[in-house]
Structure 1
Amino acid sequence: MAASWARNREAAADEALIRSLYAEHGRALLAYATRLTGDRAAAEDILQETLVRAWRHPEVLLNGRGPVRGWPFTVARNLVTDRIRARAARPREVAESPATSPVERDHADSVVDAVVVLEALDRLSSDHRDVLLEIYFRGRSVAEAAAALGVPPGTVKSRSHYALRALREVFVGRRAALEGVTG
């Protein structure tokens, strides 16, 4: 029990340290990484990876050997350098034939969206989830969904209304939680 409490306390202290590092140096780090990369999205990735490394090695920030500010900026610069070297070492992607262009979109966003939707659907009651599955995933009309579920069409409409409202609340709550982490 004491070991668990000590680990939780240590984790909370590490989290507080990272939050403090972000609050004090996050904007400057983001601006620095943006200037180095010329790309805001890449700079955000650099900032995130810098904070992850700080979280993994909190002892570097607490060693008492000078100001803390230099270490994250050095890490960010090294991450940018590593990205540039990796890009230079990899051959450029080319289309398989002149008639086809290479795939430009990454499917990661759609995978994340699907996972989020599935998690949100799991939070619904089975009646609400079944109605949404029939209407939106199987493409059935209200009458067809009612027949498949064995309930009146009005019940399908009502359940879909409340199910969509519940999903909206899950997504709003998730967005608020994410903004609380990044804000």
Structure 2
Amino acid sequence: MADGNGITAGWLYTTARNLLSNHYRATARLGELHRRVADDSYRSTSSEEQHAVLDVLDRLSAPHREVLLLSYWDGLSAAEVGEVLGCTGPAVWVRLHRARKAFRLLYTSTKESS
């Protein structure tokens, strides 16, 4: 049975199934990547570097710290972070960009003063 545009229910189900399959595969790949990066960074990060990162996080403004933690620590997607913060996905990307920049500036200034 087709609607006025020639779209059938079978086509819709097939398209939905393919989109869900792609989503699950991408999620699995992303999870594996996160696990590998976390394993590598844990082995290569010294205690001193870990303390420096925590110190910089403490010194960041609350909005910057929150978006970084939601994204990197909690592993939420931009859409999920947007739901928590009450903004859109694109706004989350802008906030992440600004928060990363602020983190980088504080981190490099901490390293230079050491």
Q: Scaled by the length of structure 2, what TM-score is found?
A: 0.55
Cross-structure match for 1:131: 67
- Total equivalences in the alignment: 71
Instruction: Indicate the residue corresponding to 2:79 in structure 1.
Output: 143
Secondary structure of the 2:46 match is helix
Matched residue, 1:165 = 101
The equivalent position to 1:112 in structure 2, one of 40, 48, 52, is: 48
Separation (CA, whole Å) in 2 of partners of 1:112 and 1:172: 14
How do residues 34-183 of structure 1 correspond to structure 2 at under 5 angstroms? 109-178=45-114
Q: Name the counterpart of 2:40.
A: none
Note the aligned Cα RMSD (angstroms).
Answer: 1.7
- Based on CA coordinates, which of the two structures has the bigger radius of gyration? 1
Q: Percent identity?
A: 37
Whole-Å Cα distance in 2 between the matches of residues 113 and 124 of structure 1?
Answer: 17
In structure 1, C-alpha distance between the alignment counterparts of 2:65 and 2:109, rounded to whole Å: 19
Query: Which one has the bigger helix percentage?
Result: 2
Task: Report deviation, 1:171.
Answer: 1.7
Which stretches in structure 2 are left out of the alignment for 5+ residues?
1-42
Matched residues in 2 for 1:113 and 1:121: separation? 12
Deviation at 1:157, TM superposition (A): 1.0
Please report how far the alpha carbon of residue 137 of structure 1 lies from its aligned counterpart in structure 2 after TM superposition. Answer: 0.6
1:20-53 deviation digits (Å, cap 9, x = unpaired): xxxxxxxxxxxxxxxxxxxxxxxxxxxxxxxxxx
2:4 maps to what in 1? none
Normalised by the length of structure 1, the TM-score is: 0.36
Residue pair 2:64, 2:95 contacting (<8 A) in 1 also: yes
Unaligned runs of 5+ in 1: 1-106, 179-183
